[in-house]
Amino acid sequence: MNLPYQLLTFAVLATCWELYADVRGGLLLPGFAETVRATAGLLGEAELWRALYVSNQALVLGFALAVVVGVPLGTALGRFRLLERYADVHLNILLVTPMAALIPLLVMSVGVGTVSRVVLVALFSVVMVIVNSRAGVRQVDPALIEMARSFGAGERTVWARILLPAALPAVMTGVRLGLGRAVTGMVLVELLMVSDGIGGLILTYRGLLKAPQLYGTIAVILAEALLLGAAAHWAERRLTRWTRPNPSRTRTARSQR
């Protein structure tokens, strides 16, 4: 439904970009068509795919670590108020701390390598996962839990039948938002700490004043982020289908009235 409008918006932006580059552009601002040609050329070069492989190693490991740590911790914070009292201040620190400021600390503590990159990517994304997982558990109606307790349900049953199913939409939203933050962390750590992967490629093209290749590399990063976001959104819709109304049942109910 929205595809024609999205294509129209993209066409308008591309036209404005091309016109602005013709009027004000130069060595450092290529036109849209030139950027598209440079991007197509980059896709045929092994250097780009090597950079993507190196960068995505940190992305996959760091994001997996964020999910493995963030989902259990967030749901536990939403369920147990005493635990939240001890952890809330640390979570707030992570929420307000500029992650770029942690890069020197990571370099001094774990060195320059894969470990520090994975840790920074995890720190970028784990906050979104924790906060949304906690909110998902908190929004569960306490009356449902009390009703389950009155029928003899134990803590394990409450988690399996009430808390986790009800919190799943918020958890998946946190995973999707955390994935976007993980891509940001992946690029930032390579720009500021390790001149390798996609970040190193950006720095190389910037130093050589190869603006079309620079913009093309950024376009590849944006395309990867969009594809990952679309995959996460698809997974979210598949796992939480029961939260959306069934159109056929809605029409049947309306016809019966």
Give the mean pLDDT of the chain.
Answer: 85
Checking if the pLDDT of 241 tops 90, the result is no
Checking if the pLDDT of 246 tops 80, the result is no
With bands split at pLDDT 50, 70 and 90, how would you rate the model's confidence at 61? Answer: very high
| Distance, CA of 159 to CA of 71 (rounded, Å) | 13
| Distance, CA of 159 to CA of 161 (rounded, Å) | 6
The predicted pLDDT at position 114 comes to 80
- In terms of Cβ atoms closer than 10 Å to its own Cβ (0-12, 13-18, 19+), residue 215 is buried
CATH fold of 52-241 reads MetI-like fold (1.10.3720)
- What number is the average pLDDT over the span 26-51? 88
| Distance, CA of 163 to CA of 83 (rounded, Å) | 17
- What number is the average pLDDT over the span 17-22? 85
- What number is the average pLDDT over the span 219-248? 82
The amino acid that residue 189 corresponds to is: V
What predicted TM-score, i.e. pTM, was given to this entire model?
A: 0.84
pLDDT tens digits, residue range 108-165?
A: 777 777 888 898 899 889 999 999 999 999 888 888 888 888 888 888 888 888 888 8
Name the residue ranges covered by the structural domains of the chain.
Answer: 52-241
| Distance, CA of 226 to CA of 181 (rounded, Å) | 12
Closest listed residue to residue 197, CA positions, set 209, 206, 188, 207? 188
- Measured torsion, CA atoms of residues 197, 199, 200, 202, in degrees rounded to the nearest 10: 120
Checking if the pLDDT of 255 tops 70, the result is no
| Distance, CA of 227 to CA of 180 (rounded, Å) | 11
Checking if the pLDDT of 86 tops 60, the result is yes
The predicted pLDDT at position 253 comes to 47
For residues 14 and 22, the answer to whether their CB atoms sit within 8 Å is no
DSSP 111: -
pLDDT tens digits, residue range 187-231?
A: 888 888 777 788 889 999 988 888 899 999 999 999 999 999 889
Closest listed residue to residue 70, CA positions, set 135, 129, 138? 129
Bridge partner list, 88? none
With bands split at pLDDT 50, 70 and 90, how would you rate the model's confidence at 1? Answer: low
Checking if the pLDDT of 80 tops 80, the result is yes
